[in-house]
């Protein structure tokens, strides 16, 4: 290189610096996956808690909520398919053979005949026990009352298929009504008041029946044992009503004359004359 030649141009070096890639674990994908996992675990433990904290009836209701039974209609054609049973190929948009989708669990109010029968039998047994307890309490009250104790042998209590039958029976030396009338003896009224007091707390309705013996009615008014037994049944109902039993509690009022005697072999026996008050089963 001589003194007259131009100096050489400097060489320019271009250095490209690339940013360092972050490691894959510095991204957010794992966080989304972890959040999904935690959500799924929470749902799982919530399900386990629900299963442990509810009974069978409530579990059936929950199952029915998540898999409801949808009935088909003429408009929708059912629920099969993504479009709920509708088809683009049909003029009306209805699927030709709609089917119900999903599981059809038994709802809590759907019970089998066996379960219903067992439930009814249990209720009937419980009611029979309650009626028997009432009969014992009523008998104790009568025997503990000095004015009614001598009538305790005329009080007959029996639990039947119809209910608790309370009968006030005449005897040869004592009649609850004056002969041929519906005029009640004061002690019979007191006994009926005690009966009303005992049955008043219960919701059961009552059937009241009047019975006579087979001795022909001797009144001159043209009455007979049918009308006499009906009048005595009505007199009984009136006494019960005056002692707190509402009219709605009475289901039947019957006069049976001498058609249902206590002693069929002796239809004229005075013990066939009686009042029958039945606390009917619910």
Are 59 and 120 in a shared domain? no
Are 141 and 264 in a shared domain? yes
- The answer to whether residue 19 sits within a structural domain is no
Are 146 and 234 in a shared domain? yes
Are 131 and 267 in a shared domain? yes
Are 130 and 204 in a shared domain? yes
Number of domains into which the chain is organized:
2
* pLDDT for position 145: 92
- The answer to whether residue 262 sits within a structural domain is yes
Q: Which tens digits make up the pLDDT trace of 29-77?
A: 778 888 888 899 998 888 888 777 777 777 777 777 766 554 544 444 4
* pLDDT for position 125: 87
Strands across the sheet containing 274-280: 155-159, 163-169, 274-280, 206-211, 250-255
Does residue 126 sit in helix, strand or coil? helix
Of the candidates 194, 208, 181, 183, the one whose C-alpha atom is nearest the C-alpha of residue 152 is 194
Are 45 and 157 in a shared domain? no
Are 57 and 119 in a shared domain? no
Are 62 and 119 in a shared domain? no
The CATH number of residue 156's host domain is 3.30.1330.60
Query: Average pLDDT by consecutive 10-residue portion of the chain (282 residues)?
Result: 62 63 61 86 85 76 64 48 46 50 52 82 87 92 91 90 93 88 93 93 94 80 86 96 95 94 93 94 86
- The answer to whether residue 60 sits within a structural domain is yes
**How is residue 270 written in tokens?**
């005075």
Q: Which tens digits make up the pLDDT trace of 182-215?
A: 999 999 999 999 999 999 998 999 999 999 999 8
Cα angle for residues 148, 153, 155 (degrees, 5° grid): 75
- The answer to whether residue 1 sits within a structural domain is no
* pLDDT for position 5: 62
**How is residue 94 written in tokens?**
């209805």
- The answer to whether residue 11 sits within a structural domain is no
* pLDDT for position 22: 54
* pLDDT for position 3: 55
Are 159 and 271 in a shared domain? yes
**How is residue 118 written in tokens?**
């067992």
Are 47 and 150 in a shared domain? no
Domain carrying residue 50: 29-66
Residue where a domain terminates, one of 66, 93, 123: 66
* pLDDT for position 207: 96
End-to-end CA distance of the chain: 131
Are 132 and 255 in a shared domain? yes
Are 60 and 194 in a shared domain? no
**How is residue 229 written in tokens?**
């037994």
For the chain, the farthest-separated pair of C-alpha atoms sits apart, in whole angstroms, at 174
* pLDDT for position 24: 52
């Amino acid at each position: 290189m001589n003194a007259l030649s131009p100096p050489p141009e400097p060489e320019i070096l271009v250095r490209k610096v690339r940013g360092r890639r972050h490691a894959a674990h510095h991204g957010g994908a794992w966080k989304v996956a972890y959040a999904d996992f935690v959500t799924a675990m929470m749902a799982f433990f919530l399900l386990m808690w629900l299963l442990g904290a509810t009974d069978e009836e409530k579990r059936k209701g929950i199952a029915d909520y998540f898999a409801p039974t949808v009935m088909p209609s003429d408009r929708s054609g059912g629920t099969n398919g993504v479009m709920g049973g509708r088809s683009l190929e049909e003029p009306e948009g209805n699927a030709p053979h709609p089917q119900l989708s999903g599981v059809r669990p038994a709802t809590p109010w759907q019970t089998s005949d066996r379960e219903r029968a067992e439930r009814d039998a249990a209720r009937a047994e419980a009611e029979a026990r309650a009626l028997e307890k009432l009969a014992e309490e009523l008998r104790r009250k009568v025997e503990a009352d000095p004015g009614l104790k001598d009538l305790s042998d005329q009080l007959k209590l029996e639990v039947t298929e119809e209910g608790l039958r309370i009968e006030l029976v005449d005897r040869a030396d004592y009649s609850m009504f004056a002969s041929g009338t519906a005029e009640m003896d004061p002690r019979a009224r007191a006994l009926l008041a005690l009966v009303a007091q005992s049955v008043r707390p219960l919701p059961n309705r009552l059937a009241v029946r009047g019975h006579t013996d087979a001795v022909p009615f001797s009144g001159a008014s043209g009455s007979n044992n049918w009308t006499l037994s009906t009048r005595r049944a009505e007199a009984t109902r009136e006494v019960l009503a005056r002692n707190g039993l509402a009219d709605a509690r009475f289901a039947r009022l019957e006069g049976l004359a001498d058609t249902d005697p206590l002693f069929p072999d002796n239809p004229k026996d005075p013990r066939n004359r009686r009042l029958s008050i039945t606390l009917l089963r619910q």
